[in-house]
């Protein structure tokens, strides 16, 4: 009888955890495209827009196509979060220098959650190569 009671208790604890843990993501003020991997992330939709421009010494602007830097171009959207953007920005700065394209890189990245709330993830009109944290805004 004890093993059955233990089994029932373990099943109840597991189910309670599965139901209560994702609520944490709804209660906290978190705004990024990728949160903890729980079923809660499927209850929210994100649409992110990013534009990167290379500004040369004369002030001429050229749009940077991020897709050319990804093996699978459709995966660009996975970098649109506060954890990955500094790495992407550092890469873009190094890559444009290697390509012999000097200048400042300016970005505009914003995400909309559930088609209601829009937030900018990057400081606009600053050089992502020289700005603190590569111009990525903190929470």
Ordered per-residue pLDDT tens for the chain, 139 residues? 578 889 999 999 999 888 877 666 566 554 444 445 555 556 667 788 889 999 998 989 999 988 888 877 777 777 888 888 899 999 999 999 998 888 999 999 988 888 888 889 899 989 999 999 999 988 7
Helix (H) / strand (E) element for 63: namely: strand 61-64
Number of structural domains the chain divides into: 1
| Count of all residues that appear for the chain in the document | 139
pTM score, two decimals? 0.66
Residue 13 forms part of a structural domain: no
Residue 109 forms part of a structural domain: yes
Q: Which two tokens stand for residue 70?
A: 């990804």
Residue 20 forms part of a structural domain: no
Q: Which domain holds residue 107?
A: 31-135
């Amino acid at each position: 009888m004890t093993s059955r009671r233990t089994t029932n208790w373990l099943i109840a604890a597991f189910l309670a955890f599965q139901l209560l843990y994702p609520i944490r993501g709804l209660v906290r003020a978190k705004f990024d495209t990728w949160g903890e991997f729980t079923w809660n992330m499927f209850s929210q939709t994100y649409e992110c827009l990013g534009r990167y421009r290379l500004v040369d010494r004369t002030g001429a602007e050229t749009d940077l196509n991020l897709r050319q830097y990804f093996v699978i171009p459709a995966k660009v959207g996975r970098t649109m979060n506060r954890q990955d953007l500094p790495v992407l920005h550092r890469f873009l700065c190094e890559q444009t220098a290697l390509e012999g394209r000097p200048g400042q890189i300016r970005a505009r990245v914003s995400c909309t959650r559930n088609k209601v709330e829009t937030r900018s993830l990057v400081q606009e009109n600053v050089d992502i190569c020289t700005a603190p944290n590569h111009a990525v805004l903190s929470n």
